[in-house]
Structure 1
């Protein structure tokens, strides 16, 4: 067994360029954890916000980013309560620490990878699927036949939400930023897709064509979010899981961030009472400590029996900066993944 691991570590949040690839000794395995030789790591916008210090859950001081991984179980803690065995192929979640060639994690946050999935597909599944499922099933309480608007529908969370909504019997309408992404979604079997323009409110009104809009999943913010909320029917729910308009460069532009913050959507509860609409928002990272809910969500995601998630871009583990740059650019389709060389 190796006694060291490679990790991407930053000494302090503030700039993505501070992230360095280093070799570290392996810690002792906690008795209630399992050890995993990581093969693939899933990237998320939360990684970018954490590295730049714009994420509320960012650890103080030095930390390793990363919320999801896939690999092979190599050791079990003596008190680990699990049916997993050494040699099992698994995916899992971790509250930071995923950008590593070896991780030690609670087994409750892991599941076996379906036999026909690759490690990259396994790493692409947990964080985006938990986000989409919690937003759709728990918060939006989507029912069969209801229309659901899903922003950034060609991204990791968005594409998974489109698939889940369809599997639940709902009618997903996706929005994207380019014609190429609309064509990609058409190839995935989704006919109702809006390429967002300056007249998005008119585009949405035309697409709905008189149908009530029950739910909106939004990770963009700004004017698009306001217009989406306005289009909701009575009892409709806006579920916010991110704010991509705040995505920084290497480090935050505080003047721009302040301006966007001042212009951010605001919702009056008295108006919501009158219109019978709701706004719900969440940060997936805080669900890690809710073990019963976490397991319920993991089981719910797996229970939908979805096809393997779409991995649009794969990078070697040593090219984390290139992978993060692509994710930050907004040009990615599906999931961005780092692969550890065998």
Structure 2
């Protein structure tokens, strides 16, 4: 079968199409014939050797897929790598049938990024109608879903995005106000847009952006951190945490893989919302499997809006 294999870490050029043996699934796993594979910032960290978990080379990236399982059902699955391939082995606890009312592309958008958005809001932040919440990368895969879910929970949403068209999309999805994420003084820009300190922040950039957004929080505010797309994780200022009694919580979705029912429940909720028309995944660009390197370049250059994916088979 065909798969993207990286034999070393580095730039997008290390992602090479190869022929590899077909799979023999481990116990409690099922083989999925992949139709679509999600492309996420976590994959770029794997490729550059900056991922939260070590991987053994040669390695096939990709942590989410949509396809057909060995029983002929349309399914989506979360994996621990291997998704950029014509077949992948997925554990039965992180594999879910797709309802007829949900398209292949919509289902894939919900799998990693939808679950991330849902658990950032409901497991970490515990969002409510009293919140004013900042959503980083509001036009991205997680951000477009988080804006909608937070607004539907009654929260006032401040969306961050880098271009006028991306900010317009955030507004269309339910943001009450939008901010240029490249503002020289991001703290002041957010405070101006919100009319004062906010109660919650979803943060995925790291570095200086992390510190600037932390400073927008009111006393007892909460920040949920789910990435460092800027390349530099930022430790939170201990003094500021104490001065304002702030809470900062990280979320790495694989920690929920073994929590029985956690992801099954959120997947059921997300599927139902899409089927009912109350949640609309924003579908971005699609590349053939052999152009995985181009997909990574687009993601890193911030030219992708919504869900980025690889087309593997029909």
TM-score (norm 2): 0.91
Compute the displacement of 1:34 (Å): 2.0
Aligned counterparts, 1:116-131, within 5 A: 116-131=101-116
Q: Does 1:69 pair with 2:65?
A: yes
After superposition, the C-alpha distances for 1:105-141 in whole angstroms (9 at most, x for unaligned) are 1222122223233222222221111211221111111
Q: Does 1:35 pair with 2:51?
A: no
Distance 2:259 2:11 in 1: 30
Distance 1:286 1:60 in 2: 20
Aligned residues: 310
Distance 2:212 2:89 in 1: 44
Distance 2:133 2:236 in 1: 22
Compute the displacement of 1:300 (Å): 4.9
In the superposition, relative to structure 1, how do residues 229 and 188 fare at CA in structure 2: closer, same or farther (>3 Å)? same
Aligned counterparts, 1:194-233, within 5 A: 194-196=179-181, 197-210=183-196, 212-233=197-218
Out of 150, 161, 173, which is 1:188 matched to? Answer: 173
Out of 230, 234, 239, which is 2:219 matched to? Answer: 234
Structure 2 counterpart of 1:168: 153
Out of 226, 237, 245, which is 1:267 matched to? Answer: 237
Task: Report the aligned-residue RMSD.
Answer: 2.1
SS where residue 201 of structure 1 aligns? Answer: helix
SS where residue 215 of structure 2 aligns? Answer: helix
SS where residue 203 of structure 1 aligns? Answer: helix
Structure 1 counterpart of 2:286: 314
Distance 1:130 1:170 in 2: 19
Distance 1:167 1:95 in 2: 31
The more displaced of 332-341 and 44-53 is 332-341
Out of 69, 77, 84, which is 1:99 matched to? Answer: 84
Structure 2 counterpart of 1:50: 46
Distance 1:206 1:56 in 2: 35
CA contact (8 A) 1:164 1:304 kept: no
Distance 1:10 1:167 in 2: 41
SS where residue 233 of structure 1 aligns? Answer: strand
Structure 2 counterpart of 1:333: 305
Unaligned runs of 5+ in 1: 76-85, 247-259
Structure 1 counterpart of 2:131: 146
Compute the displacement of 1:41 (Å): 0.7
Structure 2 counterpart of 1:255: none
CA contact (8 A) 2:200 2:222 kept: yes
Q: Is the radius of gyration larger for structure 1 or structure 2? A: 1
Distance 2:206 2:240 in 1: 19
SS where residue 8 of structure 1 aligns? Answer: strand
Distance 2:313 2:45 in 1: 27
Q: Does 1:17 pair with 2:13?
A: yes
Structure 2 counterpart of 1:79: none
